[in-house]
Amino acid sequence: MNPKKMIWTAGLLCLALAIGYGSEISIITNPANDTVSLTQDELRKIFTGKKRSWQNGNRIMIILMKRGSLHDHFLEEVVKQNSTQFSIAWKKLIFTGKAPLLNYAQSEEEMVEMVRRYPHAIGYVGPQSDLEGVKTIFIRD
Amino acid sequence: MKKFLATVLVVISWVWLQADNISERIRLNGFLSQGYIYTTDNDLIPNSGKNGSFEFSEMGLTFSVDVSERLSIGVQFLSRDYGSVGNFDVKLDWAFADYNFSDAFGIRFGKIKTPIGFFNTIRDIDSLRPLALLPQAVYDEHMRPVFTAHNGIDIYGNLDLGEIGLLDYVIFCGTVNHPSAQDAPYILQIQQTINSQLNPNGLNLADIRFDNELFYGGRLILDLEKIGFRIGGTYVYHNARMSATLQNIVPGLGLYPFNTLPVTGHMELSNCFFLSAELRVGNLHLVSEYMELLPELRLALFTPEEQVFDDDTMQGWYAMGSFMFGDRLTLTAVYERFLGKKNDPKGTGALEDGNPAFFGWRHDLTAGIRYDISFNWTLKLEYHIIDGLSKSYLFSDPDDYQQKWNMLIAKFSFNF
């Protein structure tokens, strides 16, 4: 492939990712959770382990995708870290005994299923996911 | 102390057994690292100045479990080798129960890593540090046994300041385990400091041991996380009872071992504080920390009253900048300065003690590369340009001390 084609292909892939996930990452919780909206700051605090309780005092259960483009995009957009920085930040908590248990989903379907099952869970999915049985959180500025 | 740790382990085991669906909530993690240190002159660790040394490694295993929404327990075992220290003995690194009432208030009980500055709690886990060797001006390996962990209680919390950010606080109180001199270079240094005053009078102090009396302190960090800025301070107080043996030096014969006298004293760490600041903007990471430590050594030699032998304030600081290219390659540069006596930058006190003036300071300019091969594997390479030998002379040949020396460190690490 010549360099021009490579650049175009890379550009189109980035565009596809941006269209696919850019503003369309949905933050989901269990319908029993009375939180309806969160700010970007609150989301970042939750997914970096700095905020561990919902407003009503219940402990937040974080569900992450193991890895993949949705996970990377979520980290970039919401947590403002790359995957290595995110991994190091959590390992700092794990190896000092200060991390809550992290739960991992292998697919978006499993992410939705886990959030549906656990009342205090929070997770994220892409635009194609079936959101039946979970609640989408409105993100305030 | 052993009784205390045994009690902690029994409590942890009991709580563990009480938890339902335990297998789903157990977490097992571990880490392993192996390094190589080569110094052009002087020996940071034994033999590092000849062919280099591979005696620079750590390995650990961590078990933790969320017993309930609020209660978690965990244990970490650590085995390390740092020159003549450690020698792969397996030690309990930390073991505690943590009850979290809310984000703003929680209690930990057991053996807990002491939260000093930004890096003290993770000083043994290579993959979490930017460089293989933390800046020694602040995170001194010789003093590690005093600062690494305490047995006792922590009260901690995270106050949400809304738009401003978070205020992270922790108050700790308990005791610390002082190891034998073989595992604690600071004991050898204390012995040298005292003997530099005693030897000219025909006396020599040996077999120094410490029993802990009190250890407490606190750390406060303001996290302006919206702009990636953290600023904080740590205060530590420690008072340890010292016991030792006083020997006679007979002119022409050396030590006279048949006329010894037990002596007691204290080591009090007061005015010990650390200031920390950090800025993260995208892939740029800037950190600077400052430390002052006043270790007062007192001995009751021939009178019931203790006499002060050393009460000089140590001072250290560093400034570090890192930039991450993509999500694998990180370049880091650090400049650090340490003074054995804060008000003596020219080493006059070292000269008075019969040592070279450059025993009074240590300046280190370091450049390092870190490459994250994957989430689990990390490779590091760093080069130090050092001036001065303060706190780094213990293993060097006294006939060949050099003021200016360089150091190369390579290290790989694995974690899961």
The conformation of residue A71, written as its DSSP 8-state character, comes to H
pLDDT band at residue A19 using 50, 70 and 90 as cut-offs = very low
Q: Which of A45, A87, A96 to mutate to test the interface with B (most CBs of B within 10 A)?
A: A96
Neighbours of B414 (CB within 10 A): 17
* Top-confidence residue, B187 or B135: B135
**What local confidence, expressed as pLDDT, does residue B299 receive?**
87
CB-nearest to A95 from B122, B226, B372 is B122
Average pLDDT over chain B, rounded to an integer: 89
B235 or A1: whose pLDDT is higher? B235
Tell me what pLDDT residue B302 has. 77
Residue range B287-311: average pLDDT?
87
ipTM of the complex: 0.84
What was the pLDDT predicted at A11? 54
pTM value is 0.86
What pLDDT score was predicted for residue A127?
A: 86
Q: What percent of chain A has pLDDT over 90?
A: 58
- Residue A16: predicted pLDDT: 45
What is the structure's pLDDT at A18? Answer: 43
The rounded distance, in Å, linking the Cα atoms of A65 and A71 is 6
* Closest-CA distance of chain B to residue A100, Å: 7
> Does residue A58 belong to the interface with chain B, where contact is any CB pair within 8 Å?
yes
A87 touches chain B (CB under 8 A): yes
Average of pLDDT values for B273-300? 94
Neighbours of B36 (CB within 10 A): 18
Q: Which residue has better confidence, B206 or B314?
A: B314
Give per-residue pLDDT as tens, A58-102. Answer: 999 999 998 788 999 999 989 989 999 999 999 999 999 999 888
- CB–CB contact B327 A84 (8 Å): yes
How far from B268 is each of B71, B112, B214, B305, B393, CA to CA, in Å? 35, 21, 9, 15, 24
pLDDT at A136 over 50: yes
Q: How many CA atoms lie within 13 A of B16 on its CB side?
A: 18
In a domain, residue A135? The reply is: yes
Asked if residue A13 belongs to a domain, the reply is no
Residues B188, B179: Cα–Cα separation, whole Å: 12
User: Which residues of chain B have a CB within 8 Å of the CB of A87?
Assistant: 375
Q: Where residue B1 falls among pLDDT bands split at 50, 70, 90?
A: low
Q: Do B158 and A51 touch (CB under 8 A)?
A: yes
| pLDDT confidence of residue B8 | 62
pLDDT of residue B163: 85
Q: How far is CA B285 from the centre of its chain?
A: 22
pLDDT band, residue B355 (cuts 50/70/90): confident
Q: Please give the domain boundaries of chain B with CATH numbers for all domains.
A: 22-32+111-415 (2.40.128)
Query: Does some domain include residue A114?
Result: yes
pLDDT at A20: 43
Residue B160 zone, left/alpha/beta (φ > 0; ψ -120 to 50; rest): beta
Task: Decide if A11 is inside a domain.
Answer: no
Residues A36 and A88 sit within 8 Å (Cβ to Cβ): no
Chain A with chain B: Cβ pairs closer than 8 A: 82
Taking alpha carbons only, the member of A71, A64, A73 closest to residue A23 is: A73
- CB of A116 less than 8 A from some CB of B: no
Report pLDDT digits (tens) over B334-343. Answer: 999 999 999 9
What's the token pair of residue B67?
């017993």
Measured between alpha carbons, how far is B117 from A82 in angstroms, rounded to an integer? 24
Residue A1 lies in a domain: no
B31 close to A (CB below 8 A): yes
Least CB–CB distance from A101: residue in B66, B113, B375 = B66
Of B214, B212, B209, B213, nearest to B187 (Cα)? B209
- What is the C-alpha separation between B324 and A82, in angstroms, rounded? 10
For residue range B133-156, list pLDDT tens digits in order: 999 999 998 888 889 999 999 999
CB contact under 8 A, B128 and A92: yes
Residue in chain B lying closest to A85 (CA): B327
Q: Are B299 and B265 in contact (CB under 8 A)?
A: yes
d(CA B47, CA B397): 10
Containing H/E element for B93? strand B90-102
Question: What is d(CA B81, CA B3) in angstroms, rounded to the nearest whole number?
Answer: 26
**Per-residue pLDDT at B357:** 92
Q: Which residue has the higher pLDDT, B6 or B144?
A: B144
Q: Residue B6: which pLDDT band, with cuts at 50, 70 and 90?
A: low
Lowest mean pLDDT across B119-133, B251-265, B344-358: B251-265
Q: How are beta strands A103-105 and A61-65 bridged, if at all? A: parallel
Q: Name the CA dihedral angle for B312, B315, B40, B195, rounded to a multiple of 10 degrees.
A: 10
What is residue B258's predicted lDDT score, i.e. its pLDDT?
64
Q: Please compute the mean of the pLDDT values over residues B85-105 and round it to a whole number.
A: 92
Rounded mean pLDDT, B173-184: 86
Whether residue A95 and residue B372 make contact (CB cut-off 8 A), yes or no, is: no
- Taking residues A25-36, report their average pLDDT: 93
Does A36 or A21 have the greater pLDDT score? Answer: A36
pLDDT at B253: 66
Pairwise CA distance, residues A116 & A30, whole Å:
5
Half-sphere exposure of B239 (CA within 13 A, CB side): 4
Q: Would you say residue B390 has pLDDT above 80?
A: yes
Chain B residue with the nearest C-alpha to that of A80: B282
Q: What is the mean pLDDT of residues B55-71?
A: 91
Cross-strand pairs, B109: B97, B153
B326 vs A contacts (CB less than 8 Å): 82
pLDDT tens, B226-248? 899 999 999 999 999 999 888 88
**Residue A16 maps to a domain:** no
Residue A108 within a domain: yes
The pLDDT value recorded for residue B190 is 84
Q: Do B327 and A58 touch (CB under 8 A)?
A: no
Rounded Cα–Cα distance for residues B47 and B359 (Å): 20
Domain that holds residue A109: 25-140
Q: How confident is the model at residue A15 (pLDDT cuts 50, 70, 90)?
A: very low
Distances (CA, A) of B402 to B133, B341, B359, B393: 21, 20, 10, 10
SS3 B65: strand
Residues of B in contact with A82 (CB under 8 A): 283, 324, 326-327
> Of B30-44, B77-91, B254-268, B272-286, which gets the smallest average pLDDT?
B254-268
What does the pLDDT average to over B386-398?
Answer: 82
Is A44 inside any structural domain? yes
- How confident is the model at residue B410, as a pLDDT? 97
For residue A14, what pLDDT band results from cuts at 50, 70 and 90? very low
Q: How many domains does chain A have?
A: 1
What average pLDDT does the segment B18-23 reach? 59
- CATH no. for residue A125? 3.40.190.10
CB-based contact, A59 to chain B, within 8 Å: yes
The residues with which B288 forms a beta bridge, in sequence order, are B277, B319
State what percent of residues in chain A have pLDDT above 70.
Answer: 84
